[in-house]
Amino acid sequence: MPAVDSALDLLDRIYSSEDFDRMSAIWQQAMGHHFQQVLAGDTRVLNWTEPADAVALAESLMAGGTATADRGERFESLLTQMLRSGHNLHHSGYIGHQVPANAPIAGLFDAVGSMTNQPMAVYEMGPWATAVEHAIVRAMCRKVGWDPEQSTGVLTHGGSLANLTALLTARNVVFPDSWRNGTPDNAVLISQSDAHYCVARSAGILGLGTKRILAVDVDDQRRMCPERLERVLQQARDDGQQPLAVVACACATPIGAFDPLDRIADVCEQYQVWLHVDAAHGGAALMSRQHRGLLRGVERADSVVWDAHKMMFVPALCAAVLLKNREHRFHTFEQDAPYLFDPDNPGMAEYDNGVRTVECTKRSLGFGLWGMWSLYGDEVFERLVDRVFDRCRFAWQTVCDDERFESLHEPDCNILVFRYLPESLRAAAPDLVNAVQRKIRAALIRSGDFYIVQTTIAGQVCLRMCFMNPATTEQKVASALQNIAELGEQFAAEAMDAD
Ligand SMILES: Cc1ncc(COP(=O)(O)O)c(C=O)c1O
């Protein structure tokens, strides 16, 4: 291969089937080796590099391409660099954010979209991607408990965009002139106080303003309290305010608490308010016979958001916005784009998904989920959900049985929030206790053996585990907790000495 290719040679080459075969063989070998190592636990979980150093390395590699003699070798070395520098979510010590160790098979299906580019503003540009999306939405609507002929939905790039899309639909249905005239001055959004920050963001984007969010306080288990919701709605009515929607969570992010949807739906019905359920994280519990009761009443919602790139174990991103009433499918947006949407063929609007999403060009978001679902059926999702819920329960029981820890809650799902709090720290100053938790986490993740996160609840810094990898065994959980206790003992002693 010449050191510097002519433009024509280069273009011929990058589209040649020989190059594709050669490069994909290299790719397969590198990925196979990587997975083998990660699954065997022979790597670190997080390969921590200072961000500025990582940027400098990425930049320097970009500068080295043109002088390369053997592009196969270079491809291999770039792949190795990518894999070596990433976060190994498939390592059994990964118990971190609500992002899964995706099923690799879903990645393979997803890759078809990356290789063949099937974007979907209009059906004819991504016919199979669109078909898959519709099939997925229908299946998810069924799981929610809706008739797919009466309900509808779209996939978006993530739960944040999905919540915005659902709330925009609610706004346009509740205030029919608002697409042209903007959100009325007396509109308010009523939200569970622990709702994900994207709900507040949506209020900002919708021109409502975050000041017009009326937060409904959670109870001692951090669930939205229906009685408080009723009081907020009554007060809003007395003040002449008009609710855009009530946002309930299934579950809320901090500790994974599921709101009592049935009772919330009663209140919403009584006040005739749009009920939106953010089930970005917990929607997948609908796949489990054991756990679907957590979402009892979800079928009474007007809109639901459910992320498949969380507990359905597909790669990011694949989020669904589901609407109970099919008649609302064209209420989210109003636009005129004759170069895209053919006014002489109105039936195609059902399939030209760009009419219904923020995105114009949109990735073929459903390939991974559709492929996995078609290959393994419902069972694979049920097994995954049950497994990670089980592991969380095991962790909670271990924490409860060990007097060095304090659990902040009994977990509803796969999220556990707790603190290292032995007898010796119980009377210590809150700042000192908080500092110990922070140090534990920092040391733990830098060790490369485990990855967990931290959060702050009512001023208390806590350790947070989210079980998103079916390979995290009970033994691994016990070992993580033992490491945490050992680190905690060391940092607590240092902090007390310095105090
Ligand atoms: C309850 C909830 N809603 C929405 C989101 C946002 O989803 P995404 O990260 O896909 O934008 C999250 C993310 O963790 C979440 O937990």
Please tell me the least confidently modeled range out of 4-13, 98-107, 176-185: 4-13
Atom 4 of ligand 1, residue of closest alpha carbon: 159
Among candidate residues 246, 303, 249, 252, the one with its CA nearest the CA of residue 270: 246
pLDDT at 66: 66
326-337 core/surface letters (b: 16 or more CB in 10 A; e: else): bebbebbeeeee
pLDDT band at 350 (very low <50, low <70, confident <90, very high): confident
In short, whether 253's Cβ falls inside 6 Å of ligand 1 is yes
* Other Cβ atoms within 10 Å of 442 Cβ, number: 13
The structural domains of the chain, with segments of one domain joined by +, span 7-88, 109-376, 380-498
Residues 263-302 have pLDDT tens digits of: 999 999 999 999 999 999 999 999 999 999 999 999 999 9
| Pocket residue to mutate for ligand 1, from 157, 164, 193, 198, most atoms within 8 A of Cβ | 198
Please state, in angstroms and rounded to a whole number, the distance separating the CA atoms of residues 356 and 374. Answer: 25
Share of the chain above pLDDT 70, in %: 96
State the closest ligand 1 atom to the C-alpha of 251, by its place in the atom list counted from 1. 1
Give me the mean pLDDT over the 397-420 stretch.
97
Task: For residue 458, report the distance from its CA to the centre of ligand 1, in Å.
Answer: 21
- Tell me what pLDDT residue 71 has: 87
**pLDDT category of residue 3 using cuts at 50, 70 and 90:** very low
Cβ-contact 133, 155 below 8 angstroms: yes
- Say if residues 306 and 280 touch (Cβ distance below 8 Å): yes
Which range (34-43, 50-59, 309-318, 330-339) has the least confidence?
A: 330-339
pLDDT for position 7: 53
Name every residue whose Cβ is closer than 8 Å to that of residue 272 and which is 6 or more positions away in sequence: none
Query: Counting runs of H as helices and runs of E as strands, what totals does the chain give?
Result: 16, 11
Token reading at 382: 């049920």
Instruction: Tell me whether residue 65 is exposed, middle or buried, using C-beta atoms within 10 angstroms of its C-beta: 0 to 12, 13 to 18, 19 or more.
Output: exposed
What is residue 154's three-state secondary structure? strand
Instruction: Give SS3 for 365.
Output: coil
Place of tokens 């229906």: 226
Ligand 1, atom nearest to 162 Cα: 11
Q: Which ranges of 94-216 does DSSP label H, i.e. alpha helix?
A: 104-116, 127-144, 159-174, 178-181, 197-205
Would residue 451 be called left, alpha or beta, if left means φ above 0 and alpha means ψ between -120 and 50 degrees? beta
- pLDDT higher than 80, residue 338: no
Report pLDDT for 1: 42
- Substitution site in 192, 201, 281, 466 for ligand 1 pocket (most atoms within 8 Å of beta carbon): 281
Of the chain, the percentage scoring pLDDT greater than 90 comes to 87
Within 10 A of 247 (CB to CB), how many other CB atoms are there? 30
Cα 459 from Cα 462, distance rounded (Å): 9
Mean pLDDT score, 392-400: 98
Q: Strands (DSSP E) along 380-487, which ranges?
A: 405-407, 415-420, 453-457, 460-466
List, for residues 307-331, the tens digit of each pLDDT value.
999 999 999 999 999 999 999 988 8
> Residues 286, 260: contact at Cβ < 8 Å?
no
pLDDT of 348 reads 82
Domain covering 380-498, topology = Aspartate Aminotransferase, domain 1 (3.90.1150)
Q: Which residues are paired to 164 by β-bridges?
A: none
Q: Is the pLDDT of residue 103 over 70?
A: yes
Lowest-confidence region among 120-124, 161-165, 166-170, 190-194: 120-124
pLDDT tens readout for residues 250-271: 999 999 999 999 999 999 999 9
**Centroid of chain to Cα 36:** 26
Same fold, 109-376 and 380-498: no
* Nearest atom within ligand 1 for CA of residue 310: 10
pLDDT given for residue 2 in this prediction: 43
Q: How distant is the alpha carbon of residue 63 from its chain centre? A: 34
**Structure confidence at residue 189 (pLDDT):** 98
Long-range contacts of 169-173 (CB under 8 A, 24+ apart): 169/303, 169/321, 169/323, 169/328, 169/331, 169/332, 170/244, 170/245, 170/274, 170/276, 170/302, 170/303, 171/206, 171/208, 171/244, 171/245, 172/331, 172/332, 173/274, 173/328, 173/331
Distance 146 CA to ligand 1 centre (A): 23
Tell whether ligand 1 has an atom less than 6 A from the beta carbon of residue 232. Answer: no
CATH architecture for the domain at 109-376: 3-Layer(aba) Sandwich (3.40)
For the Cβ of 278 lying below 6 angstroms from any atom of ligand 1, the answer is yes
Q: How far, in Å, from the CA of 98 to the mean position of ligand 1?
A: 8
- pTM here is 0.95
Whether ligand 1 lies within 6 angstroms of the CB of 194 is answered as: no
